[in-house]
Amino acid sequence: EGRFRDGVHKVDVSDLMRHLVKEQLYTFEGTPLFPERLAYTVNYHLSGLEETLYEEVTDYVRQEFNRAEALENSGSKGTVGFALTTLQRRLASSPEAIYQSLKRRRERLERRLHEARQVRYDVDTPLELFQGLPLITDEDLDDLEDAPDAELEQTEERVVDQASAARTIAELEVEIALLARLEELAHQVRRSGTDRKWEGLASLLQNNAEMFDAEGHRRKLVIFTEHRDTLNYLAERIRTMLGRAEAVVTIHGGMGREERARAQESFTQDKQVQVLVATDAAGEGINLQRAHLMVNYDLPWNPNRLEQRFGRIHRIGQTEVCHLWNLVASQTREGEVFHTLLKKLEEEREALGGQVFDVLGKVLFDNRPLRDLIVEAIRYGDRADVRAKLTHVVDQALDRQHLQTLLEERALAREVMDVVRVRQIRKEMERAAAHRLQPHFIAAFFLEAFKRLGGIYFEREPHRYEIKNVPAAIRNRSSRRDSRATILRQYERIVFEKERITIPSKPQAALICPGHPLLDVTLDLVLEQCRDLLTQGAVLVDPTDSGEEVRVLFYLEHTIQDASIDTTGKRREVSRQLQFIERDAPGNIHAAGYAPFLDYRPLTEKEYALIPVVRSAPWLTGDLEEQARSYAITQLVPRHLAEIRQRREEQIDKTTAAVNDRLTKEISYWDNRAAILKAQETAGRPNARLNSQIARQRAEELLGRLERRLSELEQERKLSPLPPVVVGGVLVVPQGLLDRLAGQHEPSDKEQFAQETARVERIAMEAVMQAERQLGYLPRDVSAEKCGYDIESAIPGTGKLRFIEVKGRVKDSATVMVTKNEVLTALNKPDDFILAVVMVEGDATTTHYITKPFHREPDFDATSVMYDLVRLMNRGVIPV
C-alpha cells in the first residue's frame, strides 16, 4: 500500500515474504530451487540506410532536447523529454515502430498547427501546446518506469505524438517539415525490406541449437518488445517464417485480463503455439515457465524490468537452464551503453555464481537511473570524453564489491525466520503431503468422467496425457470457482502429480488438481447428472474389521466465512473442510479420521443378499443425520474455527502493521509536500503540474485508502462458521459380520481371533514406538486417525517426519495385507514412509523396517493388497 520510498520506508520481512537471491534458495533436501540462467548479447549492425535514419532521428531528438532546455516550466521540459526518449526507444525498436510514431506525431502536430492558425495566431505568437497533456517531473518519470504496462503505454500515446518544444507557429512549422522528411526516410527503410535487427532474430530462431530439442522440434520461446507496433510487426513476420498463424500468440497492455489469461494458457498448453511475443504486460505476474528460452528484442531502460522479464521463465518448478538473448546495435549511442553494461554484467555473473540478475533493479549509475545515462549518451555521445565517462560509470555501478553489498542486503531476510518456526512449517508441509488427496483418485475420476463427457486423451509418457479434444459442453461451461478461468480446446500434456509437471525433453504439463477449471467443470457436470445418487447413500464393507458391529459413516461439509463480500455479493469463504463422523448401534459417535472410506470396498452380489436384516435394524430409522450434525457443531466446528482463526489473526496483524506503517508515512510525505508547495505559491513560484491543493488531495485520498484497507482487514478478521451440511452417508458392514452370516466362522472362534489380533497389534505398536525412541526420534501414535500410517515420528532439530505403518504378525505367518490407503500414502511420501513388520512370538518381537515398500498404486477396484511376508522382510532391516 502506497509507494515505497528509499530512506522513508522500511519493511518488516519477518513473516509475510522472503525475497532472497534465487541462486541462494534451496529445498529442504539441499538441492537448488532454481536452475542456472545464462544471458548472451547478440550484436547486429545497421545497414547504410538504417544508420542514416538512426543518425537523422537522433539529431532531431538532440535538437529538441536542447530546445526543451529553454522552456521556463520544468514540467513542460519533462513532458517534452519523455516524448523524445520514447521516440528514441521506438527508433531502436523497429522500422515499423519509428515510422508509425513519426507519422502520428506529424499528423497530430499538423492538427495543432491548424488549430493555431484558425485563431489567427501571428507566426511569432507563443503557442499553448501543453493544454490537456500531463506535465512530467523527474519523480513522475520514476513512477512511470515502474508503472503497469497499460498505464505507461497510455501515457506514451498521449505525450509522444503531441508534446513539442516549439514555442511559436514558425518553430512548429519547421519541426513538422523535419518530421515529414524523417517519416519519408523511415518509409524508405520499410520499403527496402532490410531490417538487420529482425535478421539477427531470424538467424537466432533458425540456426541456434537451443531453439530445437533433441528430436528437432522447435522449443517454446518468449520474445519481449517495448512497443505495440513492433509487437504486431514481429508477430506477423514470425508467423510468415514458421508458416502457421497459430504458432504465435501475443500479450500486450491493451488486452483484458481474460484475453491475457487465454493467451498465456494457449502458449503453455497448446503444442501448436511455439512463440509468445509480449510487451511488459507479460513481464510481471504471469507464469511462463513452460519456456526456458527468452529474447529481449528491445532492452528496457529500467533494469528492474529486465529482472522481471527473466523472472517469467526462471521460476520454481523450472528444470531447464534458462537462456536469454539480448539484441544490441552497438554502433548506436544507447547500444554502446547496453553493450558495455551487458559485457560487465556477464563478467560479474561468472564471478558471483549467477547472482547478479536479482539485484539489477537496485543498481544506480553515479546515483542516477540507467535512463539518465542513456539520455546523456544520446545527447553527447559523439564526444570521446563523454563516452569514456559513461563506460567508467557503468564499470563502477557494476563493481564486484558493490554488487556483493547489494546481494547481501537482498539476502538480509535469510536469518529472520525463527528456526523453530521453520521446523514447524516443515512438519506441516510433510504432514500435508502425506495426507493430500491422492492424485491416483483424482486421475481415476477425471479420466473416466472426461471420457464419458466425450473427451479424448492419450497417455504419451507414464501418467502424462495429451488431450486432443475438450468437448464443447466442458469448454462452454464456466467454473464455479472462477467464471473467468480459461479452458482450452486441447492440452499438450496434463498430469495429476506435481512431480511429473516437468520432465527433461518433454512438454510441460498442466497440473489437474482441485481448483483447475478443467477438473472443476468436469466435476460440476458429473454432479449435475448424478447428484441424486449421493443422497441415497451406499453400503460398504470394512475388510479390516473382524467384529460384527454395524456403523454409519457420515461425511459433512463445513465452511467458514469472513465478513467481507465477494464479487457475487456473498460473504467470502475462507475455508471449507470435509469432515467424517461415525455412529454405531449403541449411540456412540466419534470423529472418523482423515478419510476412512478409502479402505472400504463395495458389497459383492452374494454379500448384498445377506444384509437385508442388517439394513432393517430399528436404530437406523432414527434421525442420525441430526445427531451427526450436532456432534460436528460441538466437537469439529470449534476445532476447525480455532485452526483458521489462529492462522488468520497472525496474517492480519502483520498486514495491518505493514499497511499502517506504509500509508501513514506516505500521507505524511504528501502533507509535507503540500505545505512546501503552498509556501512556493505564496512566494509567487507555483509548480505548473502540481499545486498544494492537488498534494493535499492526494494525502486525503491516501487517508481514505488507509481507512478502507483497515476496515477491509477488520472484516477479514471476523470469522463465522456456517452450520455443517451432511453431504452423504455410508452404512459400514464389518467383514466379521459378513463372515458369520455366510457361515464361515463360529462366534466363539471369531471372538478369540479378534482378541488375538488386537493383542498382536498392540505388542507390535509398542515395539515400534520403543524402537523409534531408541533411535533418537519422537514418535506419536496416530493409528486412531486412520490417515494411512500408524506412527508419526519426528526427527529432532529438523522438523522432518517419518511416517510408519505397523503390521504385527504371529510367527510363521506367510502373508500381510496392506490397505489401499496405506499403499497410496507410501507412494505420496516415498522417501519418508516405512513399513514396519513385527513378528510376535508370545511377548517376544522381531522388527523389520522396509523403506519404499511399494512400487505402484493398486488397481482402482482394489481395497487392499496381499504381500508375501518373507519377500518383504528380506528387503528390510532391523532398526538399531
The CATH number for 849's domain is 3.40.1350.10
pLDDT at 138: 66
pLDDT at 379: 84
On whether both 642 and 560 belong to a single domain, the answer is yes
Q: What angle do CA 78, 83, 84 make, to 5 degrees?
A: 95
On whether both 548 and 661 belong to a single domain, the answer is yes
Average pLDDT rounded to a whole number, residues 606-615: 84
On whether both 721 and 575 belong to a single domain, the answer is yes
Neighbours of 314 (CB within 10 A): 23
pLDDT band at 558 (very low <50, low <70, confident <90, very high): very high
Percent of the chain with pLDDT over 70: 81
pLDDT band at 392 (very low <50, low <70, confident <90, very high): confident
pLDDT band at 71 (very low <50, low <70, confident <90, very high): low
On whether both 127 and 162 belong to a single domain, the answer is yes
Of 580-584, 590-594, 868-872, the least confident:
590-594
The dihedral sign for the CA sequence 250, 252, 255, 260? positive
Predicted confidence (pLDDT) at residue 689 exceeds the cutoff of 70: no
pLDDT digits (tens, 9 = 90+) for 106-118: 998 888 888 878 7
pLDDT at 802: 92
On whether both 632 and 591 belong to a single domain, the answer is yes
Provide the domain limits for residue 632: 543-737
Q: Among the three residues 683, 714, 737, which one is the final residue of a domain in this structure?
A: 737
Of 63-72, 261-270, 625-634, 722-731, the least confident:
63-72
On whether both 724 and 752 belong to a single domain, the answer is no
Is the residue at 563 inside a domain? yes
Average pLDDT rounded to a whole number, residues 658-666: 87
Which of the two residues, 545 and 482, has the higher pLDDT score?
Answer: 545
Name every residue whose Cβ is closer than 8 Å to that of residue 41 and which is 6 or more positions away in sequence: 325, 326, 328, 339, 342, 343, 346
**How do 725-734 and 538-542 pair as beta strands?**
parallel
Which of the two residues, 685 and 370, has the higher pLDDT score?
Answer: 370
Is the residue at 316 inside a domain? no
Is the residue at 630 inside a domain? yes
Is the residue at 624 inside a domain? yes
pLDDT digits (tens, 9 = 90+) for 764-807: 999 999 999 999 999 999 887 777 789 999 988 877 889 999 99
pLDDT at 413: 41
Q: How many domains does the chain have?
A: 4
Which of the two residues, 411 and 538, has the higher pLDDT score?
Answer: 538
- What is the rounded CA–CA span in Å between residue 413 and residue 19? 8
pLDDT at 850: 94
Predicted confidence (pLDDT) at residue 550 exceeds the cutoff of 80: yes
Q: Among the three residues 720, 737, 754, which one is the final residue of a domain in this structure?
A: 737
pLDDT at 74: 47
On whether both 846 and 829 belong to a single domain, the answer is yes
Is the residue at 461 inside a domain? yes
Is the residue at 41 inside a domain? no
On whether both 567 and 491 belong to a single domain, the answer is no
pLDDT at 736: 87
Give the DSSP letter string of 380-410. Answer: HTTSHHHHHHHHHHHHHHT-HHHHHHHHHHH
Predicted confidence (pLDDT) at residue 869 exceeds the cutoff of 60: yes
Predicted confidence (pLDDT) at residue 75 exceeds the cutoff of 70: no
Average pLDDT rounded to a whole number, residues 722-744: 88
Name every residue whose Cβ is closer than 8 Å to that of residue 119 and which is 6 or more positions away in sequence: none
Range with the largest mean pLDDT of 140-144, 594-598, 876-880? 876-880
Which helix (H) or strand (E) segment holds residue 189: the answer is helix 169-192
pLDDT digits (tens, 9 = 90+) for 30-46: 555 566 778 888 999 99
Neighbours of 124 (CB within 10 A): 10
On whether both 593 and 724 belong to a single domain, the answer is yes
Average pLDDT, the chain: 82
Determine the distance from the C-alpha atom of residue 358 to the mean position of all C-alpha atoms in its chain, rounded to a whole number.
18
Q: Among the three residues 737, 765, 793, which one is the final residue of a domain in this structure?
A: 737
Predicted confidence (pLDDT) at residue 821 exceeds the cutoff of 90: no
Give the DSSP letter string of 454-519. Answer: T-EEEEEETTEEEEEE--HHHHTSPPSS-TT----S-EEEEESSGGGS--TTS---EE--TT-HHH
Range with the largest mean pLDDT of 87-101, 602-616, 672-686? 87-101
pLDDT digits (tens, 9 = 90+) for 196-252: 999 999 999 999 999 998 888 899 999 999 889 999 999 999 999 999 999 999 998
Is the residue at 304 inside a domain? no
Is the residue at 212 inside a domain? no
On whether both 723 and 764 belong to a single domain, the answer is no
Identity of residue 476: N
On whether both 553 and 462 belong to a single domain, the answer is no
On whether both 808 and 709 belong to a single domain, the answer is no
Predicted confidence (pLDDT) at residue 425 exceeds the cutoff of 80: no
Give the number of C-alpha atoms closer than 13 A to the C-alpha of residue 450, restricted to the C-beta side: 24
Range with the largest mean pLDDT of 601-605, 773-777, 810-814? 773-777
pLDDT at 130: 55
